A and B are shown apart, each in its own frame.
Chain A
Amino acid sequence: MEHVRAHVLICAGTGCVSSGSKKVYAALCEKLTQKGMDKEVKVIETGCHGFCEMGPLLVVYPEGVFYVRVQENDIDDIVEEHLFKGRIVERLLYKEPVSLEKIPNYSDISFYKKQMRMVLANCGHIDPENIHEYIAVGGYEALARALGEMTPESVVDEVKKSGLRGRGGGGFSSGTKWGFTRNAAGDKKYVVCNADEGDPGAFMDRSVLEGDPHRVIEGMAVCGYAIGADEGYIYVRAEYPLAIKRLRIAIQQAEDLGLLGDNIFGSGFNFRIKIKEGAGAFVCGEETALLASIEGRRGMPRPRPPFPAVSGLWGKPTNINNVETFANVPQIITKGADWYSSIGTERSKGTKVFALTGKINHTGLAEVPMGISMREIIYDIGGGIPDGKKFKAVQIGGPSGGCLPEHLLDLPVDYDSLIEVGAMMGSGGLVVMDETTCMVDVAKFFLNFTQSESCGKCTPCREGTKRMLEILTRITDGNGRQGDIALLEDMAKNIKTTALCGLGQTAPNPVLSTIKYFRHEYEAHINDKKCPAGACTKLAVFSITDSCKGCSLCKKACPVAAISGEIKAKHTIDTIKCIKCGACMAKCPFKSIING
């Protein structure tokens, strides 16, 4: 075994790769060779740490020093100072946004402190392209235990007892679903992993697949054993090339070690996994559309019943779970259902990974125990709202979810509380909005998304979301009519009760929740032709206040010559000529141009 005195872990998740971690990796390797230190310092590319805002991330062990936003030209310092002389490079440490305190250690950073990283435990810590690293941290023990010590029924019971619910959005009991597939008649059954993550701003599943692919493969194999399936499919969108690459490597390595294939652990259980790349249709995240797509047909949902548990892939009983659900399974088997169900709330067990995006300081992935409050996620983990702006709302559950206002921030995050207030857990996207966000515009954004992603099969989703989108558009354009809010509510109700699949049935949720909590914004647009957030450009009226110094920067910036005024005298805007582009406002050094 090789002996090294230091390990350097460089994040090779999609976020860090796009901010330059590949170049950092190359520079580091080159420098170490140059210094003759390449035998004593080992460099490992890992999966995502979740703290994407701060990438590229680099951790030096054994100290566990956490460097952020590392670029190629920082490598000299890291090697010369830290690895050679043992001095921490202070300027690359993470600074807390409020206290500005520099924090060298991973676990002391507020972003990680309140997290409970179980599914993401290995992400960022092991090399996802090396199965031995997964095995070294206890990987494939769950499969060994299931095959060696448990009957398929007891595996199903264990998962049932753990209280694990589907992490893909519906929140259905995973154990119960496994039981349905197990009990369905049929000699051929399938396990399908839904990795068609498509919510705007969501990247939980991508990170798990990139950072710890074996965990998902192991979860699927345990499921295969439990339900009596010998074949699995991972349906992953082609937009996730890195995840696909690592999955392929992982499957190959598992096959090479006999952890996939025939007679696994000598138990007589056979299980193989294939990857099916999806073409990126959002609707293929719906299970029946996903199955159609695997079968080579156009991804369109079909009515249920029959449920896939009875008639799924090629008409055979099929158990479909999403990536995060499968990733939860190994620890349930190794540590037991009682341990698992001790985490979380009464009806929502375990942890949930959220993707924090929008107007939040710490964009990234956070895994928290169920029942934590939204406030803790946004302020303690997420570091609050940037630029001293005020929090307005958080959209949870993606296009199917809802927008929650400030007074619901202390709500415990679990499946049922969220449904109660008109949102849903969904797959775990959290989009934070501040006071400059217009809630009608947000509803329009999500409706636009569902409308363009609707498969077009059923009338309410195809036609109904289009009409709702048109109404929202006219409201934000200043052409809203009396009765539009009631019409939106009426449409929403009927689309929810008549649409064929989950996509259509939940598409009106962003509209309903914004009307429920931000009705006054709709009314301001319709009645006063004003956008309170100042976000709807068509409703904007720019004017110059008395604080204008007459610097004429705005005049130069205006593309349509709508601003006039002498140097050193107050300028004015011709509102008829103005095309409301906002260029003047952005240019003004004195904040003298206002909207309103």
Chain B
Amino acid sequence: MEMVNVTIDGQKLQVPKTATVLEAARIAGVKIPTLCYHPELRPEGNCRVCMVAVAGARSLVASCVYPVNDGMVVNTNTADVREARKTVVELLLANHPQDCLSCQRNLNCELQSIAGDLGIRKVRFDGERKNYPIDENNPSIVRDQSKCILCGRCIRACSERQGVHVYSFANRGFDTVVVPAFNQGLHEVACTYCGQCASVCPTAAIVVKDDTQKVWHELSNPGKHVVVQTAPAVRVALGEALGLEPGAIVTGKMVAALRRLGFSKVFDTNFAADVTIMEEGAELLDRLEHGGKLPMITSCSPGWVNFAELVYPELLDHLSTAKSPQQMFGALVKTYYAEKTDVNPQDIVSVSIMPCTAKKAEAARSEMNSSGLQDVDYVLTTQELAAMIRQAGIDFNTLSNEEYDAPMGIATGAGVIFGATGGVMEAALRTVAEIATGKELECIEFHGVRGLQGVKEAEVKIGETVVKVAVAHSLANARLILDKIKKGDCDYHFIEIMACPGGCIGGGGQPVSSCADIRQKRINSIYECDKCSQLRKSHHNPAVTELYENWLGKSMGEKAHKLLHTHYHPQNRC
């Protein structure tokens, strides 16, 4: 890599020629405050907080977009720079509600912490403040434009990362806003509810819808039997929101905390993930053997399902009809579990803890009532569970590890890897290969489908057949594959698509500070969980075997079809 010499605050160093001043400063260990900058999005230089003085430049420059050059001399801490940064943040505060104490992002807000870091003690302006109605008419995401600082990160996340293009700037001057087309609500436009906008928002302008009060209400109702399932990706991210290192595995503490919160049974979505593999695997084999629609595409990610229904309705018959693990769990808990424990399904409140905002919308879909009731009553995100744990005064870090309840808490390593991109594919391959060939796999780890590369391809030999698979995470990458299918030049058999970067561990409901190295840590922990599992193949899950043998019948059988499979329909939103 070609390097250039720069001097930053008197410190001489060599940095890559292609670096920005901000990147060079980070190499030098100099922290420059930023707001509109996001390491994974194209820098735009909107907010003007990261101003620095470059010798010879006409005015201060925005370090996030200003390229270095050889011999450049940068000062990040002059009187002019400090004053400029303070003025910019002061201007943002002057047009901000400043209701920090009661804000959903209190103590977790980039604007708040920058104002603190810069030592702003007074806002000299007392003029007009923006005041817009709150958009909360969708199940997943709440937008409060009065808190928007117009950094544009949501626009970039939605268009660059997801290829969905819901948001854009509108109007001019003080009236500038970030809005969906024609200022419609998110429920009226082609939003997939993936929540990536919320995960990059520096303030509380876009937040996950808070359903904790509803769950608290159910928990304090003695007539209700409140059960909970936790998705695989939650156990490797919840700790972050409660003061632990990114990637900390907190499965046991989480189970303990959920019991303290008052849940009657604490189950694992991984159990349902194993069931999903039994169904989806059987479906894949069926399609391969009987000339069904190929490639088959996974359907666990509701953001992706929404995207398909909105943008690629002509490809819907490629999607596996198997429900997502959350919904399989929901259907089983109010039927199988209710029967087994003799609890009236009417009294069961089924709560799930998910890394995902789109899961809230998925649970609310009208067809998700195979049990005769709404299969999943409430979906909370990782963020909301952390909030409940804090509200309950639970000292999370001192909790002793506890085990999930049987039978729906019994799961394999194949279930847990659902949380990382490539995981569903790998779990399916472990089972499909063994069922198809009747032979045990020598190596059950499929490294070709792991990792953060946007689109991964692999060929897997199952018996004499070579199965071509592909894995995409984040919807912009999904588009690459889907357009190929549309054009007809795609010979994959099986594709896994996850709406969020890195898969579920990068979901919109996870603790907000999500960037590639944090996602990698969560992924590492997911595979660590798999490695430590005694059972690592879904078809080896004894609880699943018992379910099928004693109650459900065959995979893709009549009962399974009724409870565990679904259908898709085009969504007409603009």
Seen from chain A, the residues whose Cβ lies within 8 Å of a Cβ on chain B are 281, 283, 298, 300, 302-303, 305, 451-460, 462-467, 470, 487, 490-491, 494, 496-500, 505
* Residue picked from A458, A487, A499, most chain B C-beta under 10 Å: A458
In the complex, whether B51 has a CB less than 8 A from a CB of chain A is: yes
In the complex, which residue of chain A has the Cβ closest to the Cβ of B95?
Answer: A463
A residues near B168, Cβ cutoff 8 Å: 298
For B125, give the chain A residue with the smallest CB separation. Answer: A467
Q: A242 CA to B126 CA in the complex, in Å?
A: 46
Contact of B176 among A462, A464, A467, A494 (CB under 8 A): A462
- How many angstroms from the CA of A491 to the CA of B158 in the assembled complex? 34
A498 and B51: CB pair below 8 A? Answer: yes
Give the A-B pair count, Cβ closer than 8 A: 108
The answer to whether A500 and B48 touch across the interface, beta carbons within 8 angstroms, is yes
Partner of A470, one of B60, B128, B149: B128
Q: Which residues B50-99 have CB closer than 8 A to chain A? A: 51, 59-60, 62, 65-67, 80, 83-84, 87-88, 91-92, 94-95
Q: Quick check: is B182 within 8 A (CB to CB) of the other chain?
A: no
Bound complex: CA A283 to CA B175 (Å): 15
State whether B60 touches A460 (Cβ < 8 A).
no
Supplied contacts A283-B172, A452-B172, A454-B176, 20 more A-B pairs, CB within 8 Å: A281-B172, A303-B65, A305-B67, A451-B173, A453-B173, A455-B176, A457-B46, A458-B45, A459-B46, A459-B47, A459-B149, A462-B173, A463-B92, A463-B95, A466-B128, A467-B94, A467-B125, A470-B127, A499-B48, A500-B48
Question: Could you jot down 6 A-B contacts, CB within 8 Å?
Answer: A453-B172, A457-B152, A459-B91, A464-B87, A467-B91, A498-B48
- Asked if B46 and A458 make an inter-chain contact with CB atoms under 8 angstroms apart, the answer reads yes
Give min CB distance, A169 to chain B, whole Å: 15
How far is B176's CA from A457's CA once the two chains are assembled, in angstroms? 8
Are B83 and A494 touching (Cβ within 8 A)? yes
Q: A498, B45: Cβ atoms under 8 Å?
A: no
Interface residues of B in 96-152 (CB under 8 A from A): 124-125, 127-128, 149-150, 152
Contacts of A281 in B (CB 8 A): 172
Among B47, B172, B175, max chain A CB count under 10 A is at B172
- Report B-chain residues with C-beta under 8 Å of the C-beta of A491: 87
Who on chain B is nearest to A504 by CB?
B48
The answer to whether B59 touches A497, judged by C-beta atoms less than 8 angstroms apart, is: yes
Q: Please name the residue on chain B nearest to A450 by beta carbon.
A: B173
**Residue B465 CB within 8 A of the other chain:** no
Contact check: which of A298, A460, A465 meets B48 at CB < 8 Å?
A460
A79 to B341, CA, bound (A): 109
Is there contact, CB below 8 Å, between A470 and B125?
Answer: yes
Query: In angstroms, how far is the closest chain A Cβ from the Cβ of B95?
Result: 6
Verify B174–A458 contact, CB threshold 8 A: no
Q: Distance (Å) between the CB of A467 and the closest chain B CB?
A: 5
- A462 CA / B47 CA spacing, docked (Å): 10
Docked Cα-Cα span, A147 to B441, in Å, equals: 74
Tell me, rounded to whole Å, the shortest Cβ–Cβ distance linking B372 to chain A: 50
**Which of B47, B62, B150 is within 8 Å of A456, CB to CB?**
B150
Q: Once the chains bind, are A498 and B59 in contact (CB under 8 Å)?
A: yes
Bitwise interface map of B from 420 to 434 toward A, beta carbon under 8 Å scored 1, else 0: 000000000000000
Instruction: Output the nearest chain A residue to B149 by Cβ-Cβ distance.
Output: A459
Distance in Å: Cβ of B168 to nearest Cβ of chain A = 7
Query: What's the least CB distance linking A339 to chain B, in Å?
Result: 33
Contact B62 A505 (CB under 8 A): no
* CB–CB B127/A459 < 8 A: no
Q: Is the CB of B169 within 8 A of A459?
A: no
Complex CA gap A300/B171 in Å reads 11
Task: Out of A462, A490, A494, name the residue touching B174 (CB < 8 Å).
Answer: A462
Q: A302-B44, A467-B125, A498-B51 are in contact. Are A454 and B91 (CB under 8 A)?
A: no
The distance in angstroms between the C-alpha atoms of A300 and B59, with both chains bound, is 20
Chain B residues, CB < 8 A from A498: 48, 51, 59-60, 84, 87-88
CB-based nearest A residue for B61: A303
Min CB distance B186 to A, Å, is 20
- Interface size for B (C-beta < 8 A) is 37
**Closest chain B residue to A465, Cβ basis:** B173
B residues bordering A, Cβ < 8 Å?
Answer: 44-49, 51, 59-60, 62, 65-67, 80, 83-84, 87-88, 91-92, 94-95, 124-125, 127-128, 149-150, 152, 168-169, 171-176
Closest 7 CB pairs of A and B: A456-B176, A463-B91, A470-B127, A494-B87, A303-B45, A303-B65, A497-B59
With contacts A494-B87, A498-B87 taken as known, whether A463 is within 8 angstroms of B94 at the C-beta atoms is yes
Residues of chain B within 8 A (CB-CB) of A452 are: 172-173
Among B46, B83, B91, B127, contact of A500 (Cβ-Cβ < 8 Å): B46
Report how far A451 CA is from B80 CA in the complex, Å: 24
Pick the contact of A463 from B66, B124, B174 — CB < 8 Å?
A: B174
Q: A305-B67, A494-B87, A498-B60 are contacts. A458–B48 as well, Cβ < 8 Å?
A: yes
Q: Judging by beta carbons under 8 Å apart, are A466 and B88 in contact?
A: no
| Smallest Cβ-Cβ distance to B152: which chain A residue | A457
For the complex formed, measure the closest distance between the CB of A120 and the CB atoms of chain B, giving whole angstroms.
33
Q: How far is the CA of A491 from the CA of B91 in the complex (A)?
A: 10
Whole-angstrom distance from the CB of A181 to the nearest CB of chain B? 19
Chain A nearest CB, measured from B206 CB (Å)? 18
Q: How far is the CB of A591 from chain B (nearest CB, A)?
A: 39
Could you tell me the distance between the alpha carbons of A455 and B59 in the complex, rounded to whole angstroms?
A: 20
Residues A451 and B124 in contact in the complex (CB < 8 Å), given A463-B95, A494-B83, A494-B87: no
Determine whether the beta carbon of A496 is less than 8 Å from that of B59. yes
Minimum CB–CB distance from B133 to chain A (whole Å) comes to 19
Given A467-B91, A467-B94, A500-B46, decide whether A457 and B169 contact each other with a Cβ distance below 8 A.
yes
The verdict on A303 contacting B91 (CB below 8 Å), with A466-B174, A497-B84 known, is: no
In the bound complex, what is the Cα–Cα distance between A457 and B65 (angstroms)?
Answer: 14
CB distance from A212 to the nearest CB of B (A): 33
Minimum C-beta distance from A470 to chain B (A): 4
Q: Please state if B172 and A456 are interface contacts (CB–CB under 8 Å).
A: yes
B88 neighbours in A (Cβ, 8 Å) = 459-460, 494, 498
**Complex-state Cα separation, A456 to B169, whole angstroms:** 8
A-chain residues with CB within 8 Å of residue B83 when the two chains form the complex:
494
Query: A420 CA to B472 CA in the complex, in Å?
Result: 58
Kindly state the separation between the CA atoms of A490 and B176 in the bound complex, as whole angstroms. Answer: 24
- Report chain B residues within 8 Å CB of A463: 91-92, 94-95, 174
Query: If A498-B88, A499-B48 touch, does A451 touch B59 (CB 8 Å cutoff)?
Result: no
Instruction: Kindly list chain A residues whose C-beta atoms are within 8 Å of the C-beta of B91.
Output: 459-460, 463-464, 467
Point out the residues of chain A lying under 8 angstroms from B60, CB to CB.
Answer: 497-498
Contacts of B67 in A (CB 8 A): 305
Within the assembled complex, what's the spacing in Å between the Cα atoms of A466 and B94? 11
- Determine if B172 and A487 form an interchain contact, defined as CB atoms under 8 angstroms apart: no
User: Within the complex, what minimum Cβ distance (angstroms) separates B542 from chain A?
Assistant: 57
Give the Cβ gap from A457 to chain B, nearest Cβ, in Å. 5
Could you tell me if B66 and A494 are in contact, using CB atoms closer than 8 angstroms? no
Closest B-chain residue to A490, C-beta based? B87
Contacts of B51 in A (CB 8 A): 497-498
Residues of A within 8 A of B84 (CB): 494, 497-498
B93 (CB) vs chain A CBs: closest residue: A463
A459 to B62, Cβ gap below 8 A?
Answer: no
Given A459-B48, A467-B127, A487-B124: A505 and B59 interface contact (C-beta under 8 Å): yes
Name the residue in B87, B127, B150 with the highest tally of chain A Cβ atoms < 10 Å from its Cβ: B87
Among residues of B, the one whose C-beta sits closest to the C-beta of A494 is: B87
Query: A505: shortest Cβ distance to chain B, in Å?
Result: 7
CB distance from A198 to the nearest CB of B (A): 13
B contact residues around A455 at 8 Å (CB): 169, 172, 176
CB-based contact B66/A303 at 8 Å: yes
| Residues on B with beta carbons closer than 8 Å to the beta carbon of A462 | 150, 173-174, 176
- In the assembled complex, the Cα of A505 lies from the Cα of B46 at a distance in Å of 14
A497 near B150 with CB under 8 A, answer no
A466 to B67, CA, bound (A): 31
Q: A303-B66, A458-B48, A459-B92 known; A466 and B127 CB under 8 Å?
A: yes
- Give the complex CA separation of A462 and B59 in angstroms: 18
Q: Once the chains bind, are A497 and B80 in contact (CB under 8 Å)?
A: yes
